[in-house]
């Protein structure tokens, strides 16, 4: 994993400090997520950027039907700002076809 220049934004909502809420910035974070995901039945990923989509795709590939994955994002479509609406829509449809569920134009409470 290469995560150059970015930093995780930890939103403020009740429960953000629970032990099963993670940010992904480095290999230590990756190991914590991997460990927690090994027994997870449901995963919620906040954000539909490159890191969020890659994490969702990896978890779905690794756990197949054993895990329900939801992505929550304030964007209308994945990667819209970086790659444009049409590319984002294509990628989102591919993810949906593989069982990832999207909650777009949404926020976490």
Residue 76 in any domain: the answer is yes
Residue 98 has pLDDT above 80, yes or no: yes
Task: Please indicate, yes or no, if residue 57 is contained in any of the structural domains.
Answer: yes
Query: How many folded domains does the chain comprise?
Result: 1
Residue 48 falls inside a structural domain: yes
CATH value at residue 63: 3.50.50.60
Read off the pLDDT band of 6 (50, 70, 90).
low
pLDDT tens figures, 48-66 = 998 899 999 999 988 777 8
Backbone angles phi, psi at 63, to 5 degrees: -110, -5
Residue 28 lies inside a defined structural domain of this protein: no
Domain coverage including residue 45: 41-103
Q: Give a yes or no: residue 73 inside a domain.
A: yes
Residue 13 lies in a domain: no
pLDDT of residue 1: 45
For residue 38, pLDDT over 50 is answered with yes
pLDDT band at 89 (very low <50, low <70, confident <90, very high): very high
The beta strands (E) that lie in the chain are given as 42-46, 68-72, 100-103
**Summary mean pLDDT of the chain:** 87
Residue 46 lies in a domain: yes
């Amino acid at each position: 994993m290469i995560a150059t220049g970015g930093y995780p934004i930890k939103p403020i909502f009740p429960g953000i400090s629970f032990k099963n809420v993670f940010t992904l910035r480095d290999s230590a974070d990756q190991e914590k997520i991997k460990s927690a995901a090994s027994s997870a039945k449901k995963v919620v990923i906040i954000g539909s950027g490159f890191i969020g989509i890659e994490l969702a795709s990896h978890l779905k590939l690794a756990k197949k039907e054993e895990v329900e994955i939801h992505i929550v994002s304030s964007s209308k479509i994945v990667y819209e700002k970086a790659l444009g609406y049409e590319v984002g829509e294509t990628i989102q449809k591919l993810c949906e076809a593989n069982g990832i569920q999207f909650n777009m134009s949404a926020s976490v409470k």
